Amino acid sequence: MSISFNSVDRTLNLQTRNTTYQMQLTESGYLRHLYYGRRIPGACQARLITRMDAGFSPNPHHLGFQRSFSLDLQPQEYSTANIGDFRVPALIAATADGCYGDELRYVSHESRPGKYALEGLPCAHGGEEDCDTLSIVLKDEATNLTVELLYAVYEAEDVITRAARIVNNSEQVINLERASSMTLDLPYGDWQLIHFHGRHAMERQMERVDIMHGIQSVGSLRGASSHHHNPFVILCDRAAGEEQGDCVGIMPVYSGNHRTDIEKDQMDSVRVVTGINPDLFRWTLNPGESFTAPEVILSFTHQGLGQLSRNYHHFIRERIIRSTWNHKTRPVLLNNWEATYFNFDSDKILEIARQAKDMGVELLVLDDGWFGQRCDDNRALGDWYVNEEKLKGGLGKLIEGVNALGLRFGLWMEPEMVSEDSDLYRAHPDWALTVPGRLPAMGRNQLVLDMGRQEVVDYLYDIISGLLSKYHIEYVKWDMNRNISDIYSRVLPGERQGEAFHRYILGVYKLLDKLTTAFPEVLWEGCAGGGGRYDAGMMCYFPQIWLSDDTDALERLTIQHGSTFGYPVSTMGAHVSICPNHQTGRTVPLGTRAVVAMSGTFGYELDPAHLSDEEKEQVKVQIQRFKTWYDVIQNGDYYRLTAPGADRFMAWQYVSADKGEALLNVVVTHTMANMRGVHLRMAGLDPNANYRMEALVTEGSETILDMVEMKPRDGEDSYSGAELMYAGITLPQMGGDYPSVQIHFVKN
């Protein structure tokens, strides 16, 4: 079993294939963190933690004249406030008479095969053969508040998940003002922080910064995980790169307001506290009630950022995504949004479908504008009945026409939103989140439904399940096109309004769980104005998420690069769009657009009528190429070979699990006069095997690569894995605007 307890030194040891996580129960019953890092034998690491008398760091009263044990200096497993530890707390709780502070002491622990479950929250899954669970109960004697710390150890995946359940066992009301998922104290190391900031249409821009003395925070108060600060963060040592260095990944499985605080204290120890954002949060626990904090996925590696990413990619594919589509080949789709926006009718959609089918597309997605009086984005959200002025004969007739062409049919919806100008709002204005007596801020002239209300969840389930039961809809794109402000729930009393944000996301999860369970055959794609809710929580319901509303291939290189640090390619909704691009006005060769979009779920977002006959033939070839390489792209190990801005090109690579094939992708982002060739080193191959070049595809280059130049040596037809990785490969000069190359290698 991967969990053990040493009764002599009172250590709890969690062991994965390559890592060790160790805690210790002190003589006084405190649970302190000793070690998380590269796997070591189960020996107690308490020797690493010094005891000292530091000024203005008080000691527990029961220790009397002993001044060498302060909670302010000891690494904690779950930190609290107002007990002499002045660093960031995971838990802030107040009794009815206003007293703060919980001195948590050990009560019991239990380990068992299998995975714990969380009430109302998505989390990783696993059976008794896949993982083990550790439950540790801590208690504050003064308030009778208990905290159950939950750990699941996935030995093969080098992953440990954590969560916390807080229970009020007292006879009085306790208010939670912060209820984070975990504390991770790292007493030693020269750590840097990697986080992923951005904005709408430019999500997950990787930034690496020094950790300063003080507190740095990454978070969102937008009611969603947000375009602006993804919940996933990494701590890495200063020397860490793609292939070397200690790295710790911290990924909340949560889609609402989140915050991760990183504090470097007086002794250079680093504390990480992550979970629900405590701002605008307050949760009332009546006697006997409990509160469950979201799960966090932890992973450590000493083999660099690339290996950390592959740990998360595998774990999300195998332990987070539950969809029946997870390991099925997903259809290549065409979405009509950038082709038509709101200006379409049945004839237009069917014509797009006919031409899409001729190019090899397999799924036609009807985007915004098919319902109510939806002629623009100012009205009708919430009126989920078919606009028969646009769709003559109704939605069923259109779907029959699309299916008759041999295409599947998909539909866009934005269920969590409502327009002021809508039948739904006129019937139920109290369902919208607005503050009484104040005109709300408007986003796209729409408001947000109170998903914390059971009648709202029930209404939406009835509407959506009715559509899916009545019509042959095989794909749903679920959008959310504004963030939440003016939050006030009319079903909560004033003293419980701090629960509204979290109850909102619990309602979303409840609805998604019910729908995806009832309609498992539907391919669900998440969206929130693109990547505004691109997180592990949503991936428990959506096997893929529209990565960004920016479809410019050059911009997508950076967005996809940042996203790969934590999330697999199979989750990334990516399309080829028309040029000049609608967001940037840039023109990129059609082939290069396809190379970039292939590093995702792959589809098209354009009107085929605007393509030349030659371009339509190119699309046919692109789709066939994607299908041929589907498995290595979607399920292979991913390697970042360059970083944005580091050179004149970006390169990335996939390698199959058995190292039998590899796909190299290169996009030249800046062509120059008298430019030298592109040189790079491949990764992840078998150094002792030989690889032949099975296919070489160039796109958008005025200088077509010469296969003769690309041959290894006279009389030989393959490279060794060692020379491709250690000596590298050089591509000849390529001119023109944004040329690209794909090379498929197969082991001899």
Q: What percent of the chain has pLDDT over 90?
A: 92
Longest dimension (CA), the chain: 87
Pick the residue with more confidence: 736 or 550? 550
Residue among 177, 615, 686, 694 flagged as catalytic: 615
Query: How far is 18 from 38, CA to CA, in rounded Å?
Result: 6
Residue 711 pLDDT: 66
Instruction: Quote the DSSP letter at residue 265.
Output: -
Do the first three CATH levels of 77-307 and 639-747 match, i.e. the same topology? no
What is the model's pLDDT at position 645? 81
Residue 580, preceding peptide bond in cis (omega within 30° of 0): yes
| pTM greater than the 0.85 cutoff | yes
How far CA 410 is from CA of 467, 625, 630, 736, in Å, comes to: 12, 23, 21, 37
303 DSSP assignment: B
At 32 the three-state DSSP class reads strand
CA-CA distance, 352 to 407, in Å (whole number)?
Answer: 11
What pLDDT sits at residue 733?
Answer: 78
664: left (phi over 0), alpha (psi -120 to 50) or beta: beta
615 is catalytic: yes
Q: How far apart are CA 730 and CA 727, in angstroms?
A: 10
Dump pLDDT digits (tens) for 246-278: 999 999 999 999 999 999 999 999 999 999 999
- Return the pLDDT at 710: 63
Q: Which of 35-39, 284-288, 590-594, 710-714 has the lowest mean pLDDT?
A: 710-714
Mean pLDDT, residues 376-392:
96
Superfamily for 639-747?
Answer: Golgi alpha-mannosidase II (2.60.40.1180)
What confidence score (pLDDT) does residue 706 get? 54
pLDDT at residue 708, as a whole number: 45
Among 135-144, 159-168, 545-554, 708-717, the minimum mean pLDDT is found in 708-717
Question: How buried is residue 444: exposed, middle or buried, by Cβ count under 10 Å (0-12/13-18/19+)?
Answer: middle
* Residues in Cβ contact with 483 at an 8 Å cutoff, skipping those fewer than 6 apart: 222, 223, 224, 226, 443, 532
Percent above pLDDT 70 for the chain: 98
Question: Which tokens sit at 496?
Answer: 């419980």
Identify the architecture of domain 77-307 in CATH.
Distorted Sandwich (2.70)
Residue 714 has pLDDT above 70, yes or no: no
Which DSSP helix (H) or strand (E) runs through 331? Answer: none
Rounded to whole angstroms, the Cα distance separating 64 from 15 reads 37
User: What local confidence, expressed as pLDDT, does residue 672 receive?
Assistant: 83
Task: Kindly give, in sequence order, each residue whose CB lies less than 8 Å from that of residue 343, ignoring residues fewer than 6 positions away.
Answer: none
> What letter represents residue 218's amino acid?
V
Catalytic residue among 103, 535, 549, 605: 535
What is the rounded CA–CA span in Å between residue 90 and residue 342?
47
| Per-residue pLDDT tens over the stretch 123-157 | 999 999 999 999 999 999 999 999 999 999 999 99
3-state secondary structure of 437: coil
Average pLDDT of 620-632?
A: 97
pLDDT tens digit sequence for 640-670 = 999 988 789 999 999 999 999 999 999 999 9
Does pLDDT of 385 surpass 70?
Answer: yes
**pLDDT averaged over every residue in the chain:** 96
pLDDT for residue 701 = 63
Known catalytic residue at 450: no
Residue 744's beta-bridge partner residues?
A: 663, 695
The pLDDT score that the predictor gives to residue 702 is 55
pLDDT at residue 243 in the model: 97
What is the torsion angle, in degrees rounded to the nearest 10, for the CA atoms of residue 581, residue 478, residue 223 and residue 233? -70
pLDDT band at 698 (very low <50, low <70, confident <90, very high): confident
Question: What average pLDDT does range 47-64 have in this prediction?
Answer: 90
> Is the model's pLDDT at 178 over the cut of 90?
yes
> What DSSP assignment string belongs to 644-666?
TTSSSEEEEEEE-TTSSEEEEEE
The CA distance from 401 to 404, in Å, is 5
* pLDDT tier at 717, thresholds 50, 70, 90: confident
Instruction: Find the mean pLDDT for residues 84-102.
Output: 96
Query: Where along the chain do its domains lie?
Result: 77-307, 639-747
What is the torsional sign of CA 459, 460, 463, 465? negative
Residues 109, 6: contact at Cβ < 8 Å?
no
